[in-house]
C-alpha cells in the first residue's frame, strides 16, 4: 500500500513557461500523478480552459479525484495511459489541444511502495 507522501512537483515555473498556458485552451497532463503540475496549470485557466489528466496508477487518479472538484468542467481524469490519448480525446469530443505534459521521472510514492514490498 502506498504511503500518502506529499509530492512537490519540480520545474513548475519552467513547465508553465514552455507550455505557454493560454487561459482558454486545453492541456493534457499525461502522467498526472498527485496533480501538482495540473493544479498549477488549472490555476492559470479561465472557466473555458481545461486539463485532461491521465494516469495508469488508480491510486493517483483517486488522489486527484479528491484534490480537484468532481463537478468542475475544467478538469477530467482518466485511469488510462497516455498511449491511448487519441481514444481519450475522442471520448471527450476534443479535436485539438494546446499542450501536453509528460513527467516521465520516477515517483517517490512508487519507490517507497517498492521498498515496503521487499
The grid coordinates of residue 105 equal 521521472
At 53, is the secondary structure helix, strand, or coil? strand
Query: Within a domain: residue 49?
Result: yes
CB atoms within 10 A of CB 111: 11
Do the domain assignments include residue 7? no
Residue 22 lies in a domain: yes
Judged against a pLDDT cut of 70, whether residue 99 lies above it is answered with yes
pLDDT surpasses 70 at 118:
no
Q: Average pLDDT, stretch 24-47? A: 95
Q: What is the CATH number of the domain that holds 30?
A: 3.40.50.150
Residue 74 cell numbers, joined: 475544467
pLDDT value for 105: 75
Average pLDDT over residues 89-114: 84
Which of 26, 32, 36 lies closest to 6 in space, CA to CA?
A: 36
> Does residue 3 register a pLDDT over 80?
no
The whole-angstrom separation of Cα 28 and Cα 101 is: 6
The pLDDT of residue 77 is above 70: yes
User: Which residue range(s) make up the domain with 88?
Assistant: 12-117
Q: Band of the pLDDT at 114, cuts 50, 70, 90?
A: low
More confident residue, 45 or 114: 45
Number of domains composing the chain: 1
Q: What is the mean pLDDT of residues 102-117?
A: 67
Q: Decide if 2 is inside a domain.
A: no
Distance CA 97, CA 93 (A): 11
DSSP-assigned letter for residue 34: T
- Confidence class for position 8, pLDDT limits 50, 70, 90: confident
Amino acid at each position: 500500500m502506498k504511503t500518502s507522501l506529499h509530492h512537490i512537483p519540480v520545474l513548475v515555473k519552467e513547465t508553465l513557461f514552455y507550455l505557454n498556458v493560454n487561459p482558454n485552451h486545453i492541456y493534457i497532463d499525461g502522467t498526472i500523478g498527485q496533480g501538482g503540475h495540473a493544479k498549477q496549470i488549472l490555476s492559470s485557466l479561465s472557466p473555458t480552459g481545461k486539463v485532461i489528466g491521465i494516469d495508469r496508477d488508480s491510486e493517483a487518479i483517486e488522489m486527484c479525484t479528491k484534490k480537484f472538484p468532481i463537478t468542475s468542467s475544467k478538469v477530467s481524469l482518466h485511469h488510462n495511459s497516455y498511449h491511448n490519448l487519441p481514444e481519450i480525446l475522442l471520448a471527450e469530443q476534443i479535436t485539438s489541444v494546446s499542450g501536453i505534459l509528460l513527467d516521465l521521472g520516477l515517483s517517490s510514492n512508487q519507490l517507497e511502495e517498492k521498498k515496503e514490498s521487499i
